[in-house]
Structure 1
Amino acid sequence: MKNIKSLYVLGLFAIVVLLSSCLSTIVLENDEIVKQNETKIQTYLSSQSLSFTKATNGIYYAVTAGDTSGRKSLSTGDTVRVQYVISRLDGFKLDSSTQTKPFVFMYGGSTSIFMKILPLIRESQKATFIIPSTQALGSQTFPNLPANSPIKVDVSWFKAYSENADIDRYVLTNKLTLTGNYSNGLRYIRTQEGTGDYMASGKIAKVKYTGKFLNGKIFDSNVNTSDSLKITIGASSGFVTGFQRGVELMKVGEKATLIFPSSIGYGTTGKGTIPGESPLIFDVQVIAVSDN
């Protein structure tokens, strides 16, 4: 039994030693890759007339144009558009956006390298970034780019759009007092008290409304018509979520202003005369409620 136990212990020891050896090899290989990247990057930087700064994530960058007046802080949920060119350090172009079609992504919801580099500069600035492979494509091999290669990214323009920031600015500028501010982005402002109880699920609300953009331009209204819009409370209808959920917060006779981002509106594609990524305002009144 002792011999069996000894063999068992020796076996475990051998496995631990083997794993440690493998891990050590991996660490040494990673360290070597980092050193090789740094050597390549320093060789490239020494050939340039630009003054580069090294960020805490190991990315080197140099601002080539622009001033410090642009926005720098990006927020989760911002829609970001960027014009860029990605190259090898020898100048061979790997990828780029076009003047008519910038790359678009949502900040905080992507693993794009732009998540790592854009917070280093401001919207009004152009910049060149030298990115080590550990912060770029790593050990993956791509056409015309060997594994573990540092890359160069030139950013000529980027703009971040925050619908929620635009809505907050609208509320502040117009000195509006929010009755409710919901996690889905809906801002609810009661402008006239209603009567009776809140509408139960399954009831049909008859609604007068005016829809407009943050700039005040009206895109739809039924106020000056004899018709009213019918909305079934608690149902999955053809109405956008912001409008549906806002009406469901109301009582008969109540007036309210609903303001919400495109994420619960018409999304990134828009509809009809409403462009994509448009926050919307609806002035709404529930004039009646019925069972059908």
Structure 2
Amino acid sequence: MATWAIGDLQGCLDPLQRLLERIRFDPAQDKLWFCGDLVNRGGQSLETLRLVHSLREHSIVVLGNHDLSLLAIGERRPEEQRKVNPDLQRVLLADDARTLLDWLRMQPLLHADRTLGWMMVHAGLAPKWTTALAEKHAGEIERKLRGEGYGKLLKNMYGDKPAWSPRLTGIERERAIINVFTRLRYCSPRGRIAFEEKGAPGTQQAGLYPWYEVPGRVERDLKIVCGHWSTLGLFIGHGVHAIDTGAVWGGKLTALQLDTDELRIVQVAGRDVPANPPQPRPPYHRPVRQQRAPTDS
């Protein structure tokens, strides 16, 4: 019996199938944790979503920014839906689209397992959020998404402002929480997100820090596994295991075993990207400067 966390899929079905074969995934006894961004850009979003949905009794998914974007687009008029990229259009036009979207909307922003000693988010946590605070704020959004007013939330979640503050209310509070969980890479010591900064550590402007290195951040009682930051690559440090290794950009798709004290990582080749593929990444690294690669948003 094993529990594996898997990095961002972004519609890359073939690498996912290769990875499941490599880890010898057995749905009768194993569990999968998916770090979000199941869809977009990889060309196989519909098939990827269907496979993960078929494994729903044996897996846990947290929502990423691309997943939330798909849900928002799914609430628009048909003529507006036709303006999105073909990969997402295939999801929206599928016969089982409603089943897939309704299931996706029920997924959490954060999953915590205190028996395993791990929690999973897509992007990161605000510097002052303890595990308990993060669970509380995730719950605020999850209740909205699962309730009758989810359409209003999805329509109004876009935007870079305001910065998170516990004094926020209404849609501004909800937008700020969503941005932390699904879009965070760099922030200031006070927690203001630098949305324009998407490169590897060392490329950011002065005064900004990777979210897991912010001075004065709180200590958390669980290890964190996350994705979202492909230019960071496979990073292990400060209690964080970041496993988005750019499968959609021609990098790797990564699985990390969670139910062992040993560091066990399995990787397979990502999507075949013939033109200008990103440079290969090391097995894992500390926060050092790397070449800039294509980024997700």
TM value normalised by structure 1: 0.22
Greater Rg, structure 1 or structure 2?
1
Per residue, is there more helix in 1 or in 2? 2
Higher relative contact order (CA 8 A, sep 6+): 2
